[in-house]
């Protein structure tokens, strides 16, 4: 007896707690519809955990919580109905819970989890069959275990009795709900972040690995030799050096400035000359002395000056 207790205690030491990875776990259900078809749906928000020893194939303490409001059947109106009192009644019962109380090993890789399922505040005993699929490490070397779980429940056992009658004494919805769950679980505190799966390609992974090993320089380090292993990173310039470099490269050529000033003076003289000629022309033609002609001349001077200024600055910064 003492040996058995000691063996059981040792086996518990080797069991690890695994958390369900929500990003790579799917909870699906199927409901018979009009006796000839099915309505399929899933839940998007949930969490779960289990104690599992892959070496000795011991599974225990399986638990899960599902947000009933996350039900998704690809139909917004139907999902809205499912959240109301006819079905999940999420206003009063937002959580669906499962807690195992006994797990038996049916075969080498199949377990039967007996436990309590709670829907709409009603608790019922159910049996969940779990098939162990195996153990893998992903591309960022995080360990995962995989299970497939299935069961069937009667929705009326949980107070979900809504229905509509059809011909031949048949009903719109069937009573038996089939649940199918694909589980990916990872050791507690070591789950793969979902963002890690956005690494663009194997090429990028290889470059990142070389960067970590020092085989290629950091992005701001210029290459000086072909010996990448011995190449040292060049530090970024200080803010003072950077400003000095920017001021040097972006300084305006004095020849352009001088040429622009001379051209500007020439334009003013030419505009004033055109203005005088315009006033004399109108006076001679209409034999009238009015300031309107002078205003036309001033307007011409302003427009020519503005056009020249725009052209000069485009030339200066091109």
The answer to whether 116 and 62 are in contact (CB under 8 A) is no
Residue 178 within a domain: yes
Do residues 189 and 299 both lie within one domain?
A: no
Of the residues 244, 269, 303, the one at which a domain ends: 244
Do residues 306 and 165 both lie within one domain?
A: no
Alpha-carbon distances of 312 from 2, 263, 264, 301, rounded to whole Å: 98, 9, 9, 16
- What per-residue confidence (pLDDT) applies to 273? 76
Do residues 16 and 67 both lie within one domain?
A: yes
Q: How many domains does the chain have?
A: 3
Long-range contacts of 308-312 (CB under 8 A, 24+ apart): 308/263, 308/264, 308/267, 309/264, 312/260, 312/263, 312/264
Do residues 263 and 233 both lie within one domain?
A: no
Do residues 229 and 293 both lie within one domain?
A: no
- What per-residue confidence (pLDDT) applies to 202? 59
- What per-residue confidence (pLDDT) applies to 42? 97
- What per-residue confidence (pLDDT) applies to 217? 72
Q: What is the full per-residue pLDDT of the chain (318 aa) written as tens digits? A: 444 444 444 444 456 899 999 999 999 999 999 999 999 999 999 999 999 999 999 999 999 999 999 999 999 999 999 999 999 999 999 999 999 999 999 999 999 999 999 999 999 999 999 999 999 988 778 899 999 999 999 999 999 999 999 988 899 999 999 999 999 999 987 777 665 555 555 566 667 667 776 777 766 545 454 544 454 554 555 555 445 444 444 445 566 666 666 777 777 777 777 777 777 776 666 555 556 666 666 777 777 777 777 776 666 655
- What per-residue confidence (pLDDT) applies to 139? 79
Q: Quick one: tokens of 137?
A: 């490490």
Residue 3 within a domain: no
Do residues 141 and 182 both lie within one domain?
A: yes
Do residues 184 and 284 both lie within one domain?
A: no
CATH at 154: 2.40.128.110
CA-CA distance, 106 to 100, in Å (whole number)?
16
Residue-number span of the structural domain to which 53 is assigned: 9-196
């Amino acid at each position: 007896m003492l040996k058995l207790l000691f063996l059981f205690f040792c086996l518990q030491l080797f069991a690890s707690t695994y958390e369900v990875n929500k990003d790579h776990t799917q909870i699906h259900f199927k409901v018979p519809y009009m006796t000839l078809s099915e309505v399929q749906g899933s839940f998007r928000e949930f969490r779960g955990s289990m104690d599992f020893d892959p070496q000795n194939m011991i599974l225990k303490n399986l638990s899960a919580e599902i947000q009933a409001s996350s039900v998704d059947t690809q139909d917004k109106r139907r999902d809205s109905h499912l959240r109301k009192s006819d079905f999940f009644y999420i206003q009063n019962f937002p959580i669906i819970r499962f807690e195992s109380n006994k797990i038996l090993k049916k075969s080498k890789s199949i377990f039967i989890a007996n436990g309590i399922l709670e829907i709409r505040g009603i608790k019922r005993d159910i049996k969940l069959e779990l098939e162990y699929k195996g153990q893998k490490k992903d591309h960022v070397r995080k360990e995962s275990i995989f299970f497939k779980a299935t069961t069937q429940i009667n929705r009326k056992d949980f107070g979900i009795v809504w229905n509509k009658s059809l011909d031949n004494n048949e009903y719109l919805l069937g009573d038996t709900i089939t649940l199918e769950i694909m589980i990916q679980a990872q050791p507690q505190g070591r789950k793969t972040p979902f963002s890690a799966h956005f690494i663009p390609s194997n090429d990028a992974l290889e470059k990142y690995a070389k960067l970590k090993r020092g085989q290629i320089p950091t992005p701001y380090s210029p290459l000086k030799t072909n010996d990448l292993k011995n190449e040292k990173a060049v530090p970024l310039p200080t803010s003072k050096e950077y400003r000095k470099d920017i001021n040097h490269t972006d300084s305006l050529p004095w020849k352009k400035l001088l040429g622009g000033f001379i051209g500007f003076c020439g334009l003013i003289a030419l505009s004033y000359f055109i203005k005088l000629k315009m006033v004399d022309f109108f006076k001679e033609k209409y034999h009238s002395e009015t300031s309107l002609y002078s205003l036309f001349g001033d307007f011409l001077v302003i427009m020519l000056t503005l056009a020249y200024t725009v052209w000069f600055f485009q030339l200066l910064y091109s």
